[in-house]
Amino acid sequence: MSDSRTNGLPLGFTKLVVEDLDKMSSFYQALCGLTEEGRAEATIGNRPICEVYFKSDPPGTGTFTLTKFCDARKPAGYSVILGFIASDINQFVETAIAAGAAMIDPVQSQPEHGVKVAFVDDPEGNLIEVVELL
């Protein structure tokens, strides 16, 4: 399926399955400066969910949502890697650690790829990759 304007289908949103909506909302607000726009309750395949969704910035760009399946605990393991591009990777990592993240791989320069890269786990163990363009 393609979008005739771009010759491809743009990514519209990312939903991250979490266990604790309030804790994870606070974490991503502190880390990324996100602003909570609202909360919703719905179902997926007859399973109840609760969601926190954040304002897109700038408006019209992809959105980020935290989703909790209310009838079960979050499965263990990495199912999504969240990718962020930061102008100051060291500051991003410091902010992430201060907000409750755990260091997985410290900042490494990869000039052959034109980036610096680091990995942290958010407080529920979701993997975050942060890149700074060289």
Structural class in CATH, domain 10-75:
alpha beta
Q: What is the pLDDT of residues 71-118, one digit of tens each?
A: 988 877 777 889 898 999 999 999 999 999 999 999 999 999 899 999
pLDDT for 108 equals 94
- Output the CA–CA distances (angstroms, integers) from residue 68 to 18, 21, 36, 41, 51, in the order listed: 5, 7, 16, 10, 6
Confidence of residue 54 (pLDDT cuts 50, 70, 90): very high
Measured in whole angstroms, the distance separating CA 72 from the mean position of its chain's CA atoms is 21
Mean pLDDT value of segment 2-12: 58
pTM tops 0.85: no
- Output the CA–CA distances (angstroms, integers) from residue 3 to 7, 10, 11, 46, in the order listed: 5, 8, 11, 30
Tally the C-alpha atoms within 13 A of residue 67's C-alpha that lie toward its C-beta.
17
pLDDT for 12 equals 73
Q: What is the DSSP string of 39-55?
A: EEEEEETTEEEEEEEE-
DSSP state at residue 86: -
Mean pLDDT value of segment 55-82: 85
- Parts of the chain belonging to CATH 3.10.180.10: 10-75
- Parts of the chain belonging to CATH 3.30.720.110: 78-134
CATH 3.30.720.110 fits 78-134, yes or no: yes
Of 131 and 1, which is predicted with more confidence? 131
pLDDT for 89 equals 96
